[in-house]
């Protein structure tokens, strides 16, 4: 494994950020928006949306989160490996002990997203609040981000879409992935998968602001040992797993 050169990554990051702030009027607003929404008394604190998946509560065979995601974004259930899939259920088995873990895997919303690093057009980007998304207006469908993603979280849309929904515009020729249901989050809601998991009685996924010390997710992350998938890559994922 080649160690990550963090100084280079930081340098590239700050250079890009400086260029963005200079060139883009709206870019400056993004930060002020996130801070303003973060609320009072917290000073310079910004939002970092994240999820915590408790693998001890996630039921094997339950696909409530996947189904909810498909319904929310008008995605057909994946049959082929090339079909669109924003979230999938993964079963891990420890061969020695026989312990089985079931868990959903989706875009991990990295703080240092490799998909953003490789995107040639700037379509793959990270919002000020930590959500990693594809701006499909600028995506050219080159699929570099799919190759770069360590979690295989992204899909390419090969076929024209039907029954378009107003909350999640999707079309042929672009790469897409979990958006942490931005359309809900921006209105103060929770992602569809989190809601479905709770409705199914498992409450295995919780959603919240990792930077808010009073949020449930921040308290849980502080109290228990949680892991980020492939933490060795130091992408600093916004999605964390408990009980792995």
Partner 1 sequence: MAAPALAKPPVLDKAKGEKCVEETSVMRKRHMDFLKHQRDDTVHGGIRGAKHSLAGCVECHANARDGAVLGSSQHFCQGCHEYAAVKLDCFDCHTSHTKSAQASQKRGVPR
Residue among 17, 29, 100, 231 that touches partner 1 (CB under 8 A): 29
- The least distance separating partner 1 from the CB of residue 169, rounded to whole angstroms, comes to 4
Looking at beta carbons only, is 171 or 201 nearer to partner 1? 171
Euclidean distance between CA atoms 178 and 40, whole angstroms: 30
Residue among 3, 26, 41, 188 that touches partner 1 (CB under 8 A): 26
Long-range contacts of 83-87 (CB under 8 A, 24+ apart): 83/155, 84/155, 84/156, 84/157, 84/170, 84/176, 85/155, 86/153, 86/155, 86/176, 86/177, 86/178, 87/178, 87/193
- DSSP class of residue 78 equals P
Looking at beta carbons only, is 70 or 228 nearer to partner 1? 70
- The least distance separating partner 1 from the CB of residue 38, rounded to whole angstroms, comes to 13
Looking at beta carbons only, is 1 or 80 nearer to partner 1? 80
What lies within 8 Å, CB to CB, of 180 at 6+ separation is 49, 51, 107, 109, 131, 191, 207
Q: Is position 35 an interface residue for partner 1 (rule: CB under 8 A)?
A: no
Mark residues 71-110: x for contact with partner 1 by CB under 8 A, - for none: ---xxx----------------------------------
- DSSP class of residue 23 equals H
- Tell me the C-alpha to C-alpha distance, in Å, between residue 73 and each of 68, 85, 161, 170, 188: 9, 11, 11, 8, 18
Provide the total of helices (H) and of strands (E) in the chain, helices listed first.
8, 10
Residue among 59, 118, 182, 200 that touches partner 1 (CB under 8 A): 182
Looking at beta carbons only, is 64 or 181 nearer to partner 1? 181
Residue among 137, 222, 223, 225 that touches partner 1 (CB under 8 A): 137
Contact set with partner 1 (CB under 8 A): 26-27, 29-30, 33, 70, 74-76, 125, 127-129, 133, 135-137, 159-166, 169-172, 174, 182-183, 185-187
């Amino acid at each position: 494994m080649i160690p990550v050169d963090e100084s280079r990554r930081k340098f590239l990051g700050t250079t890009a950020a400086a260029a963005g702030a200079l060139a883009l009027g709206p870019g400056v607003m993004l930060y002020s928006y996130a801070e303003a929404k973060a609320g009072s008394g917290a000073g310079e604190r910004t939002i970092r949306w994240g999820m915590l998946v408790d693998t001890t509560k996630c039921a094997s065979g339950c696909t409530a989160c996947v189904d909810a995601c498909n319904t929310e974004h008008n995605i057909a259930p994946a049959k082929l490996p090339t079909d669109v899939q924003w979230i999938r259920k993964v079963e891990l088995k420890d061969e020695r002990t026989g312990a089985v873990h079931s868990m959903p895997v989706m875009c991990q919303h990295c703080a240092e997203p490799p998909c953003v690093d490789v995107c040639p057009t700037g379509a793959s980007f990270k919002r000020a609040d930590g959500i990693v998304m594809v701006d499909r207006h600028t995506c050219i469908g080159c699929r570099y981000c799919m190759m770069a993603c360590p979690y295989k979280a992204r899909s390419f849309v090969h076929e024209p879409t039907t029954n378009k929904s107003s909350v999640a515009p999707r079309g042929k020729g672009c790469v897409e992935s979990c958006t942490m249901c931005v359309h809900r989050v921006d209105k103060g809601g929770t992602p569809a998968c989190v809601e479905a998991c709770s409705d199914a009685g498992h409450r295995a996924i919780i959603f919240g602001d990792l930077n808010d010390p009073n949020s449930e997710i921040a308290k849980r992350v502080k109290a228990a040992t949680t892991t980020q998938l492939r933490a060795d890559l130091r992408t600093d994922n916004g999605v964390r797993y408990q009980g792995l």
